[in-house]
């Protein structure tokens, strides 16, 4: 590259290079097998505790057959945006099915959950309006707020006083949109939705939930966080993804028909991007059926979650405030978090490290994600290995553990 400044700027930053040199770089690890609770990496069988496929549906024959049949009928891609040539009958059918399932008038599918958040957040409010977000909201919400050109205010994570302080300071006239995750993707806790909705009513704000991690996990048959609290009609916008419980790729928003019609004609991440592939749509739709027909999966997911939480607490791990199959094990040191991830991989256990800037340095953690298809033995094996390594790395454990 001729431009010296560009060459310097585009070099890997020192931190990444340092991690690579120290052999603790934990990203982009290629999997060479099918993906359930055990996968193959580097020629070894590895227990998977880093997947968001909460219901374990990526290998389900009904889901796979639906994807194959869609390829046979429609081909491999749509070669265009939903707006123009990229709408298939199965896009529209799945939108209707999602709206019915969630209890909303209408739904709209995007090609990813990230794009759904970009498109929805940027099309609801304008330059003179306000978006109020939880500081722990997903990155795609942060990016959406930038595209909206609105005034953006952050409240402390799941903190009602902090939210009220902001809402009470805003003028009446502009649109106010509060955005929260249903289940927070790093901490695993659930949004305090009833009290937040009360505040939204009091200060005439709209509320949007990103339920990427609530769909398939919470609520009746996995209908998600708003359903879990019986607050579907009070929740103005529900955003979700196909990339977690639904074992596919794509995103959606569900809301009143008029709102969806507005988003449909405004969201640039929808209008200027190719539509979700036939296989993605058909597999998400089939996974939605399986989720309802095989209710044991959600039960098993929660059984596994309780088992893991109890065992981790018994051993004395700091797992924060989790209320979901996302279990943070707080290490509170970026370097030890990376080391632990590497040592666990050597012991054939896959976990995800979460470090700065995704969380504050003092909150760095190992994220354990449970699936319906894990068994107790796999969970016990993984946690025993985590415990052994935690002792080697001097990770502080709670004293009271044995009394739990």
Count Cα atoms within 13 angstroms, Cβ side, for 27: 6
Among 158, 185, 304, 337, interactor with ligand PMP by CB under 6 A: 185
Q: Tell me if 200 sits within 8 A of 231, measured CB to CB.
A: no
Q: Token digits for 86?
A: 């990229």
* Nearest to ligand PMP of 114, 203 (CB atom): 114
* Nearest to ligand PMP of 241, 373 (CB atom): 241
Q: Tell me if 350 sits within 8 A of 49, measured CB to CB.
A: yes
Task: Name which of residues 45 to 104 contact ligand PMP (CB under 6 A).
Answer: none
Of 60, 91, 213, 336, which one is the catalytic site residue?
213
Residue nearest to ligand PMP (CB): 113
Among 119, 214, 222, 251, interactor with ligand PMP by CB under 6 A: 251
- 212 contributes a contact to ligand PMP by CB under 6 A: yes
* Nearest to ligand PMP of 58, 378 (CB atom): 58
* Nearest to ligand PMP of 212, 288 (CB atom): 212
Of 53, 123, 185, 248, which one is the catalytic site residue?
185
Q: Tell me if 140 sits within 8 A of 114, measured CB to CB.
A: yes
Is 244 a catalytic site residue?
yes
Is 213 a catalytic site residue?
yes
367 Cβ contact list (under 8 Å, min separation 6): 50, 186, 326, 327, 328, 329, 351, 352, 353, 354
Shortest distance in whole angstroms from residue 67 CB to ligand PMP: 17
x-or-dash pattern for ligand PMP, window 131-150, by CB under 6 A? Answer: -------x-x----------
Q: Tell me if 49 sits within 8 A of 384, measured CB to CB.
A: no
Shortest distance in whole angstroms from residue 365 CB to ligand PMP: 15
Q: Token digits for 344?
A: 């666990």
Q: Is 372 helix (H, G, I), strand (E, B) or coil?
A: coil
x-or-dash pattern for ligand PMP, window 105-134, by CB under 6 A? Answer: -------xxx--x-----------------
Q: In angstroms, rounded to a whole number, what is the distance separating the alpha carbons of residues 102 and 206?
A: 18
Shortest distance in whole angstroms from residue 362 CB to ligand PMP: 22
Applying CB under 6 A, the span of 10-18, 87-95, 209-217, 279-287 interacting with ligand PMP comes to 209-217
Shortest distance in whole angstroms from residue 356 CB to ligand PMP: 18
Write the CA distances from 334 to 20, 341, 362, 396, integer angstroms: 15, 11, 8, 15
Q: Tell me if 45 sits within 8 A of 63, measured CB to CB.
A: no
Is 185 a catalytic site residue?
yes
Shortest distance in whole angstroms from residue 30 CB to ligand PMP: 18
* Nearest to ligand PMP of 187, 334 (CB atom): 187
- 247 contributes a contact to ligand PMP by CB under 6 A: no
Q: Which long-range contacts (CB under 8 A, 24 or more apart) does 39-43 make?
A: 39/350, 41/345, 41/350
253 sits in which H/E element: strand 251-255
Residues 50, 373, 249, 115: is their CA dihedral positive or negative?
negative
57 Cβ contact list (under 8 Å, min separation 6): 63, 245, 246, 247, 287, 290, 291, 297
- 189 contributes a contact to ligand PMP by CB under 6 A: no
Shortest distance in whole angstroms from residue 182 CB to ligand PMP: 8
Catalytic residues: 185, 213, 244
Contacting positions for ligand PMP (CB under 6 A)? 112-114, 117, 138, 140, 181, 185, 210, 212-213, 241, 243, 251
């Amino acid at each position: 590259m001729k431009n010296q400044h560009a060459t310097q700027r585009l070099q890997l930053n020192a931190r990444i290079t340092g991690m690579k040199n120290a052999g603790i770089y934990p990203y982009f690890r290629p999997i060479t097998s099918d993906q359930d609770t055990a996968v193959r990496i580097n020629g070894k069988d590895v227990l998977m505790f880093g997947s968001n496929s909460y219901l374990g549906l990526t290998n389900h024959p009904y889901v796979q057959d639906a994807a194959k049949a869609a390829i046979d009928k429609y081909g491999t891609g749509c070669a265009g945006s939903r707006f123009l040539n990229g709408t298939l009958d199965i896009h529209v059918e799945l939108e209707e099915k999602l709206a019915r399932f969630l209890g909303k008038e209408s739904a709209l599918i995007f090609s990813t959950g990230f794009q759904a958040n970009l498109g929805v957040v940027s099309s609801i409010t304008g330059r003179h309006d306000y978006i109020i977000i939880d500081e722990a909201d997903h990155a795609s919400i942060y990016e959406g707020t930038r595209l909206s050109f609105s005034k953006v205010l952050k409240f402390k994570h799941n903190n009602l006083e902090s939210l009220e302080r902001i809402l009470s300071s805003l003028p009446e006239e502009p649109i106010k949109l509060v955005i929260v995750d249903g289940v927070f993707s790093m901490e695993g806790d659930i949004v305090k939705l009833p009290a937040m909705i009360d505040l939204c009513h009091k200060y005439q704000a709209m509320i949007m939930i990103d339920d990427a991690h609530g769909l398939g996990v919470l609520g009746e048959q996995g209908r998600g966080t708003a359903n879990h609290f019986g607050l579907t009609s009070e929740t103005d916008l529900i955003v979700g993804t196909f990339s977690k419980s639904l074992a596919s790729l794509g995103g959606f928003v569900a809301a009143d028909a008029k709102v969806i019609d507005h988003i449909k004609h405004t969201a640039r991440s929808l209008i200027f991007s190719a539509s979700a592939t036939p296989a993605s749509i058909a597999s998400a739709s089939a996974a939605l059926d399986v989720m309802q027909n095989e209710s044991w999966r959600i039960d098993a997911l929660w059984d596994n979650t309780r088992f893991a939480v109890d065992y981790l607490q018994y051993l004395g791990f700091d797992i924060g405030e989790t209320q979901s199959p996302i279990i943070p094990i707080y290490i509170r040191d970026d370097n030890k978090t990376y080391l632990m991830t590497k040592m666990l991989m050597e012991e054939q256990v896959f976990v995800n490290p979460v470090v700065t800037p995704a969380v504050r340095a003092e909150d760095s953690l190992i994220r354990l994600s449970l699936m319906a298809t894990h068994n107790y033995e796999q969970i016990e094996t993984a946690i025993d290995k985590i415990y052994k390594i935690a002792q080697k790395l001097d990770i502080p454990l709670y004293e009271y553990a044995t009394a739990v």
